[in-house]
Amino acid sequence: MAASRRYRCGECTYEPKGLSATEGAEQLAEHYAGCHPGIAVHDRVEIRRARPREGVGCLMIMAILLLLLILAASCQCRTPT
């Protein structure tokens, strides 16, 4: 999953929305030049990443299916002839 980024002004509540990373950084620099002259750009970049437990359910289902597949394969080998 690609991480999504959100830029925010470190001095006020300004937040450029719906932009690419480059456009967001450029608009934030323009905001600082107009609203906070003389202050170096002090932005916050928030990166949304997957939660630590995200995907555990899928992993458990795959493990159960693999176990059933192994059991089914071992039962076929033991059939009397």
Give residue-wise pLDDT tens across range 18-39: 667 778 778 888 888 888 888 8
Q: Which domain holds residue 18?
A: 4-77
pLDDT given at position 65: 95
Mean pLDDT for 6-26 is 77
pTM reported for the whole predicted model? 0.47
Q: What are the distances in angstroms from CA 60 to CA 57, 71, 73?
A: 5, 17, 20
Number of structural domains in the chain:
1
Rounded to whole angstroms, how far apart are CA atoms 41 and 14? Answer: 13
